[in-house]
Amino acid sequence: MLRVTGNQIIDKSGQKIRLQGTCLGGWMNMEGFITGYPGTEEHMRESLKAELGQEKVEHYFQRFLESFFTDADAKYLKSLGFNVLRIPINYRHFEDDMAPFELQESGFDNLHRVIEICAANEIYTIIDLHALPGYQNQHWHSDNPTHVAFLWKHKHFQDRTVYLWEELARCYKDNEWVAGYNLINEPADPTTVALIGLYDRLIDAIREIDPDHIIFLDGNRFSRDWRGFPAPWDNTVYAFHYYPPPGQLAGGIYPGEMEGQFFNKETIRKEMFCRASYMLEHDVPIWIGEFSPVYPTLDTPVDSPRYQVLRDQLDIVNELNAHWTTWTYKDVGLQGIVYTSPDSAYVQQVKPALDKIQYLGADVWSGTEANIDHIIDPLNQLLSEVTPDYDPYPFGAGTRIRRLLRGMLFPDAITPSYAKLFKALDKEQLIALADSFLFENCHPHENLARILKLFASSEL
């Protein structure tokens, strides 16, 4: 197995290895901006089931899982010089909330297929539990329809998380191409105490079954905060995530002023070194588990500052001698290294819903408030006047308002109309939608791929 020695990862022959690659976001944990739907995966699936029925909806989603990543995708990643794929998974593929502790073989079958494809192409995989029972953070990407992370409040959800990781460890304890286990994506525990307690439980439970694989741990508060963390666990890699504001949707001016702060390479460098402070202090490996700008216009001059943000981040990754995985590999045309054709059956079918999402800014990652600022601004002003001390965890009142409206209310209203777009489709038409995500039906984001290939070829 790969293992940690000091601040390095070494392979079975004792040679240093640097993990460089991307994440398979949107596959076994679907997200709206990646695959073009509003709200949470759970609500979207329930709405489609109401329109299509159980048989057709299962047929569609299984075809989607098979089409989204194939041997052609792995070969393309290998051509970029990548040697690792982080695989985000949603617990719902492995367990039903109405049947807790009864694990489903289909989830393991789908995960195993992609791990084996990657292994055949000499690509390591990191299993990333991206959406946990009870939700580990307050945002949509943990499949959370609320703004409360119940994982930290209920032992029942923690017990189910331990149970799932025990089974994953049993499945992969002898698999040398699994680099390790990323236990909790972007946890956000207001106390930190519950997070450290759960990390302790998970590591002990996994080590009883699998003493050899690397454990990958995210920091608290969406993988950025190390306060309250104990001394490092053995054979463990620590991860932070960082999306600089100039690379986000409202950005694009770089170097330049944004959100009351001047951003340039040195600004980003200071933040990345700050987020890596725990790893630097304890001399353990550093993994930047998620980063990368968004590209709303795809390979146009408008995107050139975003490419510079990426180059600067990768330069700093090299300064830190860090392992890295970008977010994300494939989507409908915002952040992916590969994206679906705008003329594809899927994009054309869901375009009316995409237009509604865009107009209302109903996806907080890919939308703006241009058409709703007359609603958002007065709410912010009212709360600041009436409750000036209101500062909810994790990111304050302004973010909370946006999450409640743009991440919950608006998507909740749009999702039924998204599902109705599928109502009249037969099985063959559903297959055509799912096959829109096949590698041969997608386009590479050439400028992005070129930059990543260049940096993946660099040495430690």
Q: Could you give the residue numbers annotated as active site?
A: 186, 290
Give the DSSP letter of residue 233: P
Measure the CA–CA gap between 117 and 73, rounded to whole angstroms: 9
Angle, helices 54-68 vs 41-52, to 10°: value is 130
- Rg of the Cα atoms in the chain: 21
CA of residue 346 relative to chain centroid, distance: 22
**Strands 16-17 and 8-10: what pairing?**
antiparallel
Two tokens, residue 204: 């002990």
Tokens 């009212």 label which residue?
A: 382
Nearest one of 356, 328, 446 to 26, comparing CA atoms: 328
DSSP state, residue 8:
E
Which helix (DSSP H) or strand (DSSP E) does residue 411 occupy? helix 410-420
Cα–Cα distances in Å, from 344 out to 8, 112, 349? 43, 28, 8
Element (H, E) at 339: strand 338-340
First-last CA distance in the chain: 20
Count the alpha carbons within 13 Å of 265 in the hemisphere toward its beta carbon: 11
- What single DSSP character describes residue 121? T
- What are the strands of the beta sheet with 16-17, ordered from one edge? 3-5, 8-10, 16-17
**What does the alpha-carbon distance between residue 108 and residue 164 come to, in Å, rounded to a whole number?**
11
Residue 289 three-state SS = strand
How far is C-alpha 254 from the chain's CA centre? 25
Rounded Cα distance, 156 and 150, in Å: 10
Inter-CA distances, 80 with 38, 85, 348, 453, Å: 32, 12, 30, 5
